[in-house]
Amino acid sequence: MQFDELLTEQRNHRSTHIDRESTLEMVATINREDHRVARAVQKQLPQIAAAIDAAYPLFDQGGRLIYVGAGTSGRLGVIDATELQPTYGLSGEQTFGLIAGGEAALTHTVKAAEDSVEMAQADMAGVELTDKDIVIASAASGQTAYTLAALRFAQDHGAVGIGFSCIEGSPLAELADYPITPVVGPEIITGATLLKAGTAEKMVLNMLSTGIMIKTGKVYQNLMINVVPTNDKTFERAKKIIAEATQTSTLAAERALERSDNNVPLAIVLIETKGTIAEAKSLLAATNGHVSQAVKLSDTKVK
């Protein structure tokens, strides 16, 4: 299919008069189209869940979460990877994004970068892929050369490939092990895929990465427990998380945090199981750091 024949490049008949609408009418038009994005993503929930279920055991075993893309798709991937690090206590080696054109492309357009197969192969070769890595490749059109080449290279080296696009049956959807294809339709401004396609990608990446983090024990209840107390602000945040997770006082949380050498998950298990530091450490080691599983294992042992 020619590029100008893609659904993402077609004119949207619902916004053909947007340049003549009042400001309120204009934003209402945009908002109505955004509602269509949520519905399109909803239809892909089984595919998103399947991708999470395939990815999280690999990440739990030391695999990396690697995002690749060009332009808006690449920038959104870099953002997701970057934000995961402080939110869930990850390092830049555990999750990162690669964008066509390199770091310069984050703030500037790098001409022809998205068409370069060689650049994609070189970028992927540089990260020394393993069969535990998960690569999330995103391209609204599903046919960006850089993204396709990067995903193909990753799969050839044993990595699991998740592909996001907004075109059914696109080359990216056909190539990916786990394709996710919310069909959002023509953009409000013809061809401006930073709009609905970009919104869909952000929604899908949120689900993927959050799901993987939850499944790998980076969340207890609905709290982000891998915060590392390094200053007064983060120490107070850690105490609050522990107190809320265990339904105890901030004083008890502070004492547990001190006993656990500022390790939030360990402090939570210590309070929840009412055991010793050694026992809490043993439970976490037995469950690969999963607080929920550690607490459940303790309950099982007591019974």
Sequence-distant (≥ 6) Cβ neighbours of residue 282 within 8 angstroms: none
CA–CA gap between residue 85 and residue 12 (Å, rounded) = 38
Asked about 174 being catalytic, the answer comes back as no
Model pLDDT, residue 298 = 84
Model pLDDT, residue 302 = 53
DSSP code, position 166: S
Per-residue pLDDT tens over the stretch 109-154: 888 899 999 999 999 999 999 999 999 999 999 999 999 999 999 9
Q: How far is CA 71 from the centre of its chain?
A: 17
Model pLDDT, residue 70 = 96
| Choice between 89 and 161, residue whose per-residue pLDDT is larger | 161
For residue 3, pLDDT beyond 70: no
Neighbours of 103 (CB within 10 A): 10
| Choice between 5 and 114, residue whose per-residue pLDDT is larger | 114
Helix (H, G, I), strand (E, B) or coil at 135: strand
| Banded model confidence at residue 229, pLDDT cuts 50, 70, 90 | confident
Model pLDDT, residue 2 = 60
Phi and psi at residue 153, to the nearest 5°: -60, -45
Q: Are strands 65-69 and 95-99 parallel, antiparallel or unpaired?
A: parallel
Average pLDDT, the chain: 93
Question: Which of the residues 5, 25, 83, 258 is marked catalytic?
Answer: 83
User: 3-215, what's its fold?
Assistant: Rossmann fold (3.40.50)
CA–CA gap between residue 206 and residue 172 (Å, rounded) = 20
| Banded model confidence at residue 4, pLDDT cuts 50, 70, 90 | low
Q: Where are the domains of the chain?
A: 3-215, 219-302
The residue with tokens 């294992």 is: 297
For residue 5, pLDDT beyond 80: no
Helix (H, G, I), strand (E, B) or coil at 99: strand
Model pLDDT, residue 231 = 86
| CATH architecture assignment, domain 219-302 | Orthogonal Bundle (1.10)
Q: Which of 210, 190, 203, 166 is nearest to 35 (CA)?
A: 203
CA–CA gap between residue 67 and residue 87 (Å, rounded) = 17
| Banded model confidence at residue 1, pLDDT cuts 50, 70, 90 | low
Question: Which of the residues 25, 33, 93, 114 is marked catalytic?
Answer: 114
For residue 303, pLDDT beyond 80: no
Per-residue pLDDT tens over the stretch 7-45: 887 888 899 999 999 999 999 999 999 999 999 999 999
CA atoms within 13 A on the CB side of 7: 15
The residue with tokens 């993987």 is: 212
Model pLDDT, residue 129 = 97
Asked about 114 being catalytic, the answer comes back as yes
| Banded model confidence at residue 6, pLDDT cuts 50, 70, 90 | confident
Phi and psi at residue 255, to the nearest 5°: -65, -40
**Hey, what amino acid is at 62?**
G
DSSP code, position 104: G
First-to-last alpha carbon distance for the chain, in angstroms, is 62
How is the chain split among helix, strand and coil, in percent rounded to 5? 55, 10, 35
Phi and psi at residue 164, to the nearest 5°: -105, 130
Between the alpha carbon of residue 134 and those of residues 31, 49, 65, the distances in Å are 33, 15, 5
pTM here? 0.91
Per-residue pLDDT tens over the stretch 252-287: 999 999 999 999 999 999 999 998 999 999 999 999
Encoded tokens for 302 = 């007591």
CA–CA gap between residue 259 and residue 266 (Å, rounded) = 9
